[in-house]
Amino acid sequence: MHPEILRAMNAQRGQELRERAHQSRLARMAIRGRRHRRDLPDDGFVVPAIPDYVDGSFHGDHVAGQVAGEAGQAPARHAA
């Protein structure tokens, strides 16, 4: 076989092996990360909602009020 073809085939095989090794490394990292999170004690911490605007309202509230205000009607309220 021609040396250039052998060189190209060897380079392709090397690239495929490197890609396979990279995928295996990513999979191992994901498994270890999941295992680590599973073994951590649950501290019960919950991240509070951070308002989108200075007045303490959220993006959805502001958009609903703005659209209803443009139509000349009061914004809809959800019964929760």
Is residue 24 domain-resident? yes
Phi, psi of 54 (to 5 degrees): -65, -35
Is residue 58 domain-resident? no
Spatial neighbors of 57 by CB under 8 A, at least 6 apart, are 51
58-72: per-residue pLDDT in tens?
A: 777 655 555 555 555
Is residue 1 domain-resident? yes
Alpha-carbon distance of 42 to 51, in angstroms, equals 26
Range of the domain at 29: 1-40
Is residue 55 domain-resident? no
Is residue 28 domain-resident? yes
Give the number of other CB atoms < 10 A from CB of residue 67: 12
Number of domains in the chain: 1
1-54: per-residue pLDDT in tens?
A: 899 999 999 999 999 999 999 999 999 999 998 888 787 777 777 888 888 877
